[in-house]
Chains A and B, each alone.
Chain A
Amino acid sequence: MSTIASAGPSLARLTLLHARYQLIETLRVPMAVIGTLVFPALALVFFVVPQRVVAENPVYATQAVISLAVFAVMSNSLFGFGLAIAENREKPWDPYLRTLPAPGLARVLALLLSTGGLGLLAVVPVIAVGGILTAAEASPARILAGFVALAIAALPFMLIGTAIGYSMPFKAAMAVIQIVMFALAFIGGLFLPPLLFPDWLDVISRFTPTRQARELVIWAVEGGPLEWWVWVGILAWIAVSLALALALFRRDEGRRYR
């Protein structure tokens, strides 16, 4: 018998298939979705809106909204991917899906679409609150450009989350993600603006995907020059984290003993 006669569904169809059912599964637990959508906007209300110095200055307020948007996308990506994958690996449904004829790439891409899409949706309330309650300002075209930049800059976070999910058990992933998230947020200038950094920290900061994401989105929304290290850095992070995520996915044999 030669190898199989009929070709199966294309990679794109398999990706959409997995993304669709991942989304349905998520949406059947509405509280989880609401938490994802509301949390970043609440953070803006509590931490930025009351600081009138920031909230009333258009430039500062816009940058603060962008920083929180990047933080929202990053935490959604790291948690959404890292924890979902680590959790699924401990459930018997996941090994079953792996016996079906879909390449690893289709399942990774499907997660990017479903969880990644939800993460981007969580930015909408941040922008709404920022537009209404602070002096942040941007034209609709600029906001759209910001979204595109955010989607691109979010890829490394999703892939890092994927790599964490495939490399350790659920509880370990929880701890590691929290450390990675706060380290990246601080060094990347999401909590304190990089203007306040000493030179050595500023240099380190430029190597982080958070700083690169922040600069890319600010450039897309506010205009101005784009430093070369921003886009080179993002491309490098995407390449490295994609290779790592795929390698870990292929190596993975689930957590069950036999």
Chain B
Amino acid sequence: MSSTPLARFERVTRRFGDLVAVDDVTLDIEPGSILGLLGPNGAGKTTLLSMLQGLRRPTSGTVTLFGGDPRDARTRRLLGSTPQETALPETLRVGEVIDYVGGHFPDRVETDALAEEFGLTDLLRRQSGSLSGGQKRRLAVALAFVGRPRLVLLDEPTTGLDVDARRVLWDAIRHQHELGATVVVTSHYLEEIEALAQRVIVLGEGRVLADDSVARVVAEVGVSQVRLEADEPDSLDALDGVVRRDTADDVQVLTVSDSDAFVRALVGSGIRFRNLGVRGATLEEAFLALTARRPADELVSSHGKELR
């Protein structure tokens, strides 16, 4: 019994007019793990989940949830999910929102217990329109767990949160997973998938690009971004670990595989530089660096936009 997948996509394609959002995807979601769905914006993550939620029909292929059709409401009794945007009805109080969603499930977590778990106890009487971004996110994620689901879909659960709020939510998600829920979490932050998931599926342009353990995928796409201003930018290309260099105004934007090694090499090389900044690349940048190269002007404009 346990080997039967909770959900299954068989050769699933979903088109929106001319756009192919999901392209011939076949995959199983097995019980037990936290599965990361990783990909840049527009990769098809949300479309994939919306078919599992019964919101959209595949153009071709079949989607199976708990052995049934996700478009049948009864099939979804053990499925929990979170709205992607902070979409809570503003006039309802936090406790009312929890009861509204919880009332759909045969075996629900009591409001007080759920509030305790997600740090909402002091907010139960507040209207959800008055919550901060982080509080709304906590409530939204809590809603996914109110029906004691076996499978939980979290679509970018911590987008827009600061580091502390993000860690609080991660802890709550891990705890729920230990209690027995299988969790699918989408993100375009590599860090988030690293912190939560064991298995990761990388999507790009609607196709599965990789389906592997987190450690192996991280090794493949784990790159950092270094920004600096330099007098002789061309000589940067020769340094250790530079995957790509782009120029936006006077700033050099370097994608490097190992930022520590790069900085050591940079200092040792004697190249004069100013305003050095290092950060982990977002997944989008990692994909840009590691997948097929695009025309240079397109790259510059995408970085220029970000530099504003």
Contacts and interface: CB of A to CB of B under 8 A. Distances in A.
A57 to B, nearest CB: 46
B2 to A, nearest CB: 8
B87 to A, nearest CB: 3
A101 B85 CA distance: 20
A28 interface: yes
B91 A101 contact: no
Interface in B46-63: 46-47, 50, 53-57
Interface stretch (A3-11, A44-52, A130-138): A3-11
A99 B83 CA distance: 9
Interface string B41-81: 00000110010011111000000001110000111111101
Interface stretch (A34-42, A88-96, A173-181, A186-194): A88-96
Given A8-B77, A28-B91, A100 B46 contact: no
Nearest to B1: A1
B103 interface: yes
Nearest to B77: A101
A91 B87 contact: yes
Interface in A215-258: 253-254, 257-258
Interface in A1-36: 1-4, 6-9, 13-14, 17, 21, 24-25, 28-29
B91 A4 contact: no
A58 interface: no
A162 to B, nearest CB: 18
Contacts of B56: 253
Nearest to A252: B55
A168 B78 CA distance: 32
Interface residues of chain A: helix, strand, loop or mixed (majority)? loop
Interface in B18-58: 21, 46-47, 50, 53-57
Size category of the binding interface on chain A:
20 to 34
Contact of B101 (A29, A100, A103): A100
Contact of B88 (A14, A21, A29, A93): A93
Contact of B96 (A1, A21, A93, A95): A21
B84 interface: yes
Interface residues of chain B: helix, strand, loop or mixed (majority)? loop
A100 B106 CA distance: 12
Contacts of A96: 81-83, 87
Size category of the binding interface on chain B:
35 or more
Nearest to B108: A9
Contacts of A28: 91-92, 127
Nearest to A11: B73
A102 B53 CA distance: 12
Contacts of B54: 98-99
B16 A257 contact: yes
B130 interface: no
A85 to B, nearest CB: 15
Contacts of A25: 89, 91-92
A93 B97 CA distance: 11
A254 B107 CA distance: 29
A100 B82 CA distance: 10
Contacts of B84: 92
Contacts of A104: 73
A243 to B, nearest CB: 19
B269 interface: no
B104 interface: yes
Contact of B104 (A14, A91, A254): A14
Given A8-B77, A17-B100, A103-B73, A24 B47 contact: no
A143 B61 CA distance: 57
Contact of B73 (A6, A13, A91, A102): A102
B4 interface: yes
A258 B16 contact: yes
Interface of B: 1, 4, 6, 16, 21, 46-47, 50, 53-57, 66-68, 73-79, 81-85, 87-89, 91-92, 96, 100-101, 103-107, 127, 147
Which 3 pairs between the two chains have the least Cβ-Cβ distance? Answer: A92-B87, A28-B91, A99-B53
